[in-house]
Amino acid sequence: MSTRYTEDHEWITVDGDVATVGITNYAQEQLGDVVFVELPEVGRKVSKGDEAAVVESVKAASEVYAPLDGEVVGANDVLADEPGKVNEDPEGAAWFVKIKMSDAGQLDGLMDEAAYKAHLEGL
Amino acid sequence: MTDASLLSTPLTDLHRELGARLVPFAGYEMPVQYPQGIIAEHSHTREKAGLFDVSHMGQAWLVGPDFETTAAALERITPSAIAALKPGRQRYTVLLNETGGIVDDLMVSRPDGAENDGRLFLVVNASRKAVDYEMIAKSLPENVKLEPVEDRALIALQGPMAADVLKAHAPDAADMAFMAARSMEFDGIAVHVSRSGYTGEDGYELSVPAGAAEAIARALLADERVAPIGLGARDSLRLEAGLCLYGHDIDETTSPVEGAITFVLQKRRKEAGDFPGAERILKELEDGPSRVRVGFTLEGRAPAREGAEIRNSEGRTVGVVTSGGFAPTLGAPIAMGYVETSCADVGTRLTLVVRGRELPATVAEMPFVPQRYYRKPSA
């Protein structure tokens, strides 16, 4: 399945029933230099819209929301020591969390790449 | 996108051309960062020279019949010995309200040159211009007038290479002492230069005619050692230097003693007690204030920001963070805030509460990064 996006500038890729979530290149550009990422504990249950992570730039802290319901089954510990990876490779190595989805149907409510591009152009 | 309600500076078009991200700040559209990014801009300023547009700040003349009269007028609302300012010297001071709270912090300079007798030059915070000007105007005697300056830009050039860069355009700036203020020419343009700034580095602030601001900025930026620096790095630089940001680290409720800027109080003024709020301020000097501004270093990487609660080892709230963030020079988070005086000793271990978690922090000496102001070689 292709990458999905949220209006809050998160990307989601799916492998089986596990969604990998990160922030988009647009998001990291807006944040500027990332200096700290706070990730959720593995095992935590999240609902769509919950605060799942916090990303801190030099200027400010921003929340990253869970795009789907489910259970956190992975957190990218690399970001603890190298938060700058979020600026370097936001849509690759700097993923934030893996969520085991409880309702894959929620994916249908997310944007595909074309819709996200249109969303960005409208900003 | 341009917000028509925001004011611009004479350099706004240049910021846009340089790729700045412009944000609203104190009613102005100002560059928060350029494509380099805040950390790179910060480091550039510490290592080379950074150019800052600070034209949003308020520039004003205080004009009276002679220096003594004008200085005495300003002393009515500040605790500093303005009358002791020598020609060509600048001083950091504060405006005080009747309860000794800080209405604003500002720079005051006494220009050199006989034609400037009776004139003091003020630089105040952008966000406080209206409040300050009203307060100053109300406090003045008949024969002293406040003249806000609307046709000048203010450009800061900061960093260890600032002096060498500026020398090529304004040779007279090279041998200025720290906190000296002089009129001179920059490539033939009349400018006022002070050797001061808000980064902890050697550097200058140049008050320049609005119409010449862009040419002057471009001339400085043409030097490869100079990069444009936005408000983001300006904030991280001043935080590392332990300098207060008005409205955050000091405000109308905090006194200069609580704010740990007692150096604005000079001996003659303390002895005379002839400034607003003297009763409170002198008592705080004598007995110690109930709270005081301190710096913090944090363990780990998570920054604590303005508003974070400060707790002691028993979990009791003992203060609040007023500025905090990541210190690029140190590669670690730092903060400043107010704590009960009993918790203010350097080395005291406290916690800063961020998102419900207590982050271990230690009261630290400020500045966090050594200040490198210019000291004239002794003769």
Q: Tell me the mean pLDDT in the region B102-117.
A: 95
| Residue of B44, B240, B301 to mutate for A, most A C-beta atoms under 10 A | B301
| Residue of B38, B236, B306 to mutate for A, most A C-beta atoms under 10 A | B38
Give the pLDDT of residue B284: 98
Q: Is residue B324 within 8 angstroms of chain A, CB to CB?
A: no
A14 Cα to chain B: minimum distance (Å): 30
Per-residue pLDDT for B2 more than 80? no
Q: Tell me the mean pLDDT in the region B227-239.
A: 98
Per-residue pLDDT for A80 more than 60? yes
Give the pLDDT of residue A45: 97
Q: Tell me the mean pLDDT in the region A71-89.
A: 96
Per-residue pLDDT for B379 more than 80? no
Give the pLDDT of residue B236: 98
Q: Residue B144, Cβ neighbours under 10 Å: how many? A: 22
CATH architecture of B1-287: 2-Layer Sandwich (3.30)
How would you label A23-38 residue by residue, b for 16+ Cβ within 10 Å and e otherwise?
Answer: bbebbbeebbbbbbbb
Longest dimension (CA), chain B: 63
Q: Is residue B33 within 8 angstroms of chain A, CB to CB?
A: yes
Determine the straight-line distance between the first and last CA of chain B, rounded to whole angstroms: 54
- Residue range A60-77, pLDDT digits in tens: 899 999 999 999 999 999
Residues in A touching B301 (Cβ below 8 Å): 35-36, 80, 83
Q: Tell me the mean pLDDT in the region B272-301.
A: 97
Residues in A touching B37 (Cβ below 8 Å): 32-33
A104: confidence class by pLDDT, cuts 50, 70, 90:
very high
Q: Tell me the mean pLDDT in the region B42-62.
A: 98
Give the pLDDT of residue B4: 75
Phi/psi of residue B246, nearest 5 degrees: -60, 140
Q: Is residue A83 within 8 angstroms of chain B, CB to CB?
A: yes
B61: confidence class by pLDDT, cuts 50, 70, 90:
very high
Cα separation, B7 vs B202, in Å, equals 30
B75: confidence class by pLDDT, cuts 50, 70, 90:
very high
Residues in B touching A36 (Cβ below 8 Å): 301-303, 326, 333
Q: Tell me the mean pLDDT in the region B286-297.
A: 98
Give the pLDDT of residue B377: 77
Write down the residue that tokens 């916690």 correspond to.
Answer: B351
DSSP-assigned letter for residue A86: H
Cα separation, A34 vs A56, in Å, equals 6
Q: Supply the CATH classification number for the domain B290-364.
A: 2.40.30.110
B3: confidence class by pLDDT, cuts 50, 70, 90:
low
Domains of chain A: 4-103 (2.40.50.100)
Per-residue pLDDT for A1 more than 70? no
Q: Do domains B1-287 and B290-364 have the same CATH topology?
A: no
Domain limits, chain B: 1-287, 290-364
Q: Tell me the mean pLDDT in the region B302-324.
A: 97
